[in-house]
Amino acid sequence: MSQSKSGSGITDKGATTIHDSTKVGEGDSLLALNKRIEILSEKIDVLSSEISELKTAFEDLSRVKEFLPLNIRVVEVRETTVEEAKKEILDYCDKHKGGIFYPDDVADELGLDLKTTVEATEELMKEGKLEEVK
């Protein structure tokens, strides 16, 4: 009898790991083959159950999505100093001349912390390198 233990199941949130122990070897008896068929049937039942749970979770997420703003973005924020942020903000403004920029949008675009961006923007305005639009 040939058996393999390669993992092929989902193990998150309590799902059962399914091992492949159903390889058919030459000379396997009818009893061994029937046992493997039974094991495969159990695996199919487990997978069907997990698929149903995933479908339900997906439907729940789809319903929740209706209540969320359409333009959600995940922004990875980098650690930087105010001086580094000032340089990046000035470069950003040079590349987008003539535009009106808000600190939160600039922070998102550059991946900067909002507090650091606001502080850098205020310093740049005090230095006369940026001006506030009212």
How many domains, the chain?
2
Residues 122 and 90 in one domain: yes
- Give the separation between CA 128 and CA 90, rounded to whole angstroms: 12
Task: Supply the Cα-derived Rg of the chain in whole angstroms.
Answer: 29
Residue 107 falls inside a structural domain:
yes
Query: Whole-model pTM above 0.85?
Result: no
Residues 24 and 51 in one domain: yes
Residue 116 falls inside a structural domain:
yes
Query: CA angle, corner 95, sides to 87 and 77, nearest 5?
Result: 50
- Give the separation between CA 134 and CA 96, rounded to whole angstroms: 19
The parent domain of residue 20 ranges over 12-65
The tens digit of pLDDT for each residue in 73-131 reads 667 788 899 999 999 999 998 898 878 888 988 998 899 999 999 999 999 999 999 88
Residues 16 and 56 in one domain: yes
Residue 30 falls inside a structural domain:
yes
Residue 33 falls inside a structural domain:
yes
Residue 6 falls inside a structural domain:
no
